[in-house]
Amino acid sequence: MKKTILLFISMTLSLALAAQRLTILHTNDTHSHVDPVRSGADAGLGGVVERAAYIDSVRAADGRRNVLLVDAGDFSQGSSYFTILKGDVEVDLMNAMGYDVTALGNHEFDNGLEELSRRLRNLRCPAVCANYEFSGSDLSRIVRPYTIIRRGGFRIGVIGLLTDVSRVVEKHIADKIRYIDPVEVTNRYAAYLKDVKKCDIVMCLSHLGYDSGPDSDVRLAARTRNVDLIIGGHSHTFLESSVEVPDLDGKPVTIVTDGCWGLYVGNLKVGR
């Protein structure tokens, strides 16, 4: 039997806080790929068993209090697990792996708002999305614009962002929610998290896509302030190393994104 492996990315985010220690593990666009890839160039790679083993090994090495585990959305849709079991397996596995926060991707909406609300009620971590209004839906009581997490001596503000789903989901679903410009929303919440909530790090979990389309991670970084890190998804872009984009004040914003299907787990070291 071919050995199942994951590939891991390690990079350093410089925040001049060397006395504190934080490891951010991040995934995106896993698309219900519970099992390893079965064919093609990536055959044998990925799978939740190996992902969970790697996460556990990092927590053991770095200390659970120093490790933050996040997802940038589209943990749904892409295998028979979702088609047959409607996303419950994915939520159960994220709970078992101990995710701390997730963004929403467009494929989370594929079975409608009520079904997404049902699944998110069973998710043990916050789901964040700042640039949508969900009024009239249970999602308005479940999804938060941001969350604040203390880990590794840092106070971390996490903002969720989602692409314009009117282009990628059925109209009867998109018509029930309202898209808001992610740049305007990010500037508002990032300033609040830095200035009022005194967060050391402001992170965007972004399901906008890396660098194409009217909204993207690169565009977001260049048009905002107070954002330190963007963990991206949606475009299935794989960055072997981090990219830095200057913000409106010329300060570098670090961007990372991990391809798709759970082939990669990003490992971002902060303050070392």
What is the torsional sign of CA 169, 88, 39, 210? positive
Burial of 110 (0-12, 13-18, 19+ CB in 10 A): buried
Q: Which residues lie closer than 8 Å to 216 by C-beta, 6 or more apart?
A: 208, 209, 210, 235
Residue 141's pLDDT is 95
| CATH superfamily label, 7-270 | Metallo-dependent phosphatases (3.60.21.10)
Residue 214's pLDDT is 85
Q: Extract the tokens encoding 176.
A: 């029930």
pLDDT tens, residue by residue, 101-122: 999 999 999 888 999 999 999 9
CA distance 214 to 25: 28
The model's confidence at residue 189, banded by pLDDT at 50, 70 and 90, is: very high
Residue 69: pLDDT above 80?
Answer: yes
The model's confidence at residue 15, banded by pLDDT at 50, 70 and 90, is: low
Q: Which residue in 187, 132, 128 sits closest to 159, CA to CA?
A: 128
Instruction: Return the domain boundaries, the chain.
Output: 7-270
- The whole-number average pLDDT for the span 47-54 is 93
pTM for the predicted model, two decimal places = 0.91
- The whole-number average pLDDT for the span 132-146 is 94
SS3 51: helix
* Beta strands at 252-257 and 243-246: parallel, antiparallel or unpaired: antiparallel
